[in-house]
Amino acid sequence: MKPMIKSFEVGKCYEHTTGKRIYICGQLVTHAWGKTLIGEDSSGSLIPIGDTEEATINWSEITEKTFQGGRASLDEERINGQYTR
């Protein structure tokens, strides 16, 4: 079993015990949620992510390659002209 985390960090990828994967893109201040992390899920949708320890329950850190399902990193794809999104 993968070790659970205590907080999300910008620039890292995570997987929930249910299989959901997210990439933490950054942090914003919004009207709806105040200060919040912004994550990208594996479909490319942006979602607010809680930054409390309770929000990290059942999440573990994964590599960017695992997040992308074994694909090359986005930077590698851009360099090689393969980025299509």
pLDDT of residue 68: 86
Q: Of the given ranges (5-19, 21-35, 47-61, 68-82), which has the lowest mean pLDDT?
A: 68-82
pLDDT of residue 24: 96
Burial 5-19 (b: 16+ CB within 10 A, else e): beebeeeebbbeeee
pLDDT of residue 78: 53
Burial 24-58 (b: 16+ CB within 10 A, else e): beeeeeeeeeeebbbbbeeeeeeeebebeeeebee
Residue 71: closest CA among 16, 23, 32, 17: 23
pTM, full prediction: 0.76
Q: Is the pLDDT of residue 33 over 70?
A: yes
> What confidence category does residue 54 fall into, taking pLDDT thresholds of 50, 70 and 90?
confident
In the chain, where the domains are located: 13-79
